[in-house]
Structure 1
Amino acid sequence: MYNKKIGILCWEENAIPKGVAKIASLRGSAVNKESYDFPVVIKRVKGANPETIIFNPSENTLISMIYEMQNMVKTDDVYAIGTSCGFNAIHQTKLANAVNVPVFASSLLQVPLIAKFLKENQSIGILSARSKSLTKKHLYEAGITDSVSLNILGMEDYHEWNKLLVNTNDDIDLKIIESEICEASLELLKVNSHIRAFVLECTDMSPFSAKIREITELPVFDFITLAHYVYSSL
C-alpha cells in the first residue's frame, strides 16, 4: 500500500507569492512532502496562479491541469490526484472526467460527508482564502447543496493574510498568520454557536489546523485530512 503514490498539482514556479512559499516550508502544507505519510508526486501547472485559479478561473489553466494529470498517470504511476488550491473545486467534474484515477480537487469535497456527522441543527464553519471568490458553483461542484448549513468567512480582510493574494512580493510573519486564522475561527463561532466542525478551503491554512483544534476544541478538516482519507482507500 505505502508504495503507491498520489499526485499533487500546484501553482507554477514563477507565480508563487513570497508568503505562500514561506508557508510551503511548514509541515501540513499541501506542497510539502513531509505532510504526508505516503509518497507524493508534486507537479507545477503552467499558467496556474492566484489570478487564473482564484480571481478569474481560466479554461486555459484547466487544460494545463488536465495535461499534467494525464502525464502523471502515464509516467509517474500515481493512483489518485489532488490539487493544492481549494478553489479548484470549480473544476472537480471536468478534472475527474479527465483521468481514470480518483481526483480530489478541493478540501471542500469533505463537506457533504461532515454534514452527515452532525445534528440537523448544527453547522459547518468554512474558512476561505477569499470568500468573495467562493461561488455557488464552487460549492455545487464539491457536492454541497443548500440543505447543508454553512457559515463561510474569508480571510481577505486580514492584513497579514492578504499579502498572500494581493501584496504577493511582501514577506509574511507566520506568527501573525496563525493568529489571524485563529481569530477568524473564533469569529465564526461568535456568528454561529452551532458550528461543530471546521473545513479549511485553503491548503495554506492546513499547517495551522492543530492550533484551530486546540482553541476551538472542534474537529478541523483540511486538504491533508482528505488526502490521507483518499490514500487509505488505495
Structure 2
Amino acid sequence: MVYGGKSVYGAVLGILMLEARFPRIFGDIGNATTWSFPVQYRVVKGASPDKVVRQDPMLLVDDFIAAANELVESGCDGITTNCGFLALTQERISKAVPVPVATSSLMQIPMVQALLAPDKKVAVLTISKNTLTPAHLRAAGVKNLDEVPIFGTDEGHTFTRSILDDHEAIDFEACRQDMIDAARQIVETDRDVGAIVLECTNMTPYALDVRKVTGLPVFSIHSFVNWFHQGLIPSRFPLDLDDPRSGPF
C-alpha cells in the first residue's frame, strides 16, 4: 500500500528566496543546478537584499513564515533560506512550521568550533560586517560571541555592492578578487583562526578560493544544506551479503 498526502514528491528541501534580480552562477544557492538533489523555491515578495541585510528582517518574518508553510504544503520536509542574516528569524519560523528549519549558514559555527583545538576559533566572512551583529550570532546558537572574529567584503570593490544593491550585471571575477582579499585579511589579522564560515549564500562559488588562500577549512551554506538534506533523506545502502563491500574481508 502506498499513501499520499503531498502535492510534490522527490523534492523535500524548500528554499526561501529573497526577491532579487542579480545573476546567480553555479554554486549560488539560487541556482538549481548547484544541488545534486531536487529543491523547491519560494520567493518572498518585498524581501530585498537591502531590507534583510542592511535593515531589519524581522519586519518581514510573517511573509517568510507564509512562504515556508507554502513549501511545506508542497511537500517539503525541511526549510532553509538564501541569506545568512535570516538567522534572526530562526526561532519565529521554526515555531511556525511543522518541519525542521535551517535559516542560516551561521548555525554551523558551534559545530565547527567543536571540531577545532581549544586554542583555535571560527572566523566568519560576511557580506556586511557593518550590520552583522551579536544578535545574529546569538540567534544562530553561538554562545561565546567574543571568540568569533568577523570579517567582511564591505571594503571590496564589487561583491557587497553588487549583491546588496541588486545589480542585474555583475563582474564575478572582481567578486572573486574581493573574496580573496578578505580571506587574506583573515589569516594576516588573526593567526588563531582555525576555520572559516561563509555567512553569505552567494559566497559558495568562491569557497575553494578562500580555502586555497588561507589553508583553512571553509564551511558554507552548501556544506550546511547538504548535511541538512542528508538527514531528510539518508543514503540507502541495500543489504547485499554477496557484495564484498559488506565485509568482513
Match of 1:112 in 2: 110
Identity %: 28
Name the SS of the counterpart of 2:77 in structure 1. strand
Residues 53-132 of structure 1: pairs in structure 2 closer than 5 A? 53-74=52-73, 76-132=74-130
- The reply on whether 1:215 has 2:222 as its aligned counterpart is no
Gaps of 5+ in 1: none
Which of the pair has the greater relative contact order for Cα pairs under 8 Å at 6+ separation? 1
- The reply on whether 1:7 has 2:14 as its aligned counterpart is yes
Name the SS of the counterpart of 1:210 in structure 2. helix
- Tell me, yes or no, if the aligned pair for 2:61 and 2:89 is still in contact at 8 Å: yes
TM-score by length of 1: 0.90
Match of 2:190 in 1: 192
Alignment-mate amino acid for residue 15 of structure 2: I
- The reply on whether 1:137 has 2:135 as its aligned counterpart is yes
Name the SS of the counterpart of 2:205 in structure 1. helix
Change (3 A) 1:99 1:83: same
- Tell me, yes or no, if the aligned pair for 1:90 and 1:141 is still in contact at 8 Å: yes
Name the SS of the counterpart of 1:78 in structure 2. coil
Change (3 A) 1:41 1:58: same
Gaps of 5+ in 2: 1-8, 233-249
- Tell me, yes or no, if the aligned pair for 1:33 and 1:40 is still in contact at 8 Å: yes
Change (3 A) 1:31 1:165: closer
Match of 1:175 in 2: 173
Match of 1:52 in 2: 51
Alignment-mate amino acid for residue 200 of structure 2: C
Q: 1:58: how far off? A: 3.9
- Tell me, yes or no, if the aligned pair for 1:85 and 1:203 is still in contact at 8 Å: yes
Q: How many residues get paired?
A: 224
* Stretch moving more, 116-125 or 213-222: 213-222
TM-score by length of 2: 0.85
Change (3 A) 1:170 1:30: closer
Change (3 A) 1:196 1:3: same
- d(CA) in 2 for partners of 1:118, 1:63: 37
- d(CA) in 1 for partners of 2:168, 2:15: 26
Alignment-mate amino acid for residue 98 of structure 1: A
- Tell me, yes or no, if the aligned pair for 1:87 and 1:134 is still in contact at 8 Å: yes
Structure with bigger gyration radius: 2
Q: 1:42: how far off? A: 1.0
- Tell me, yes or no, if the aligned pair for 2:194 and 2:217 is still in contact at 8 Å: yes
* Stretch moving more, 220-229 or 210-219: 210-219
- d(CA) in 2 for partners of 1:123, 1:136: 16
- d(CA) in 1 for partners of 2:57, 2:194: 34
- Tell me, yes or no, if the aligned pair for 1:5 and 1:38 is still in contact at 8 Å: no
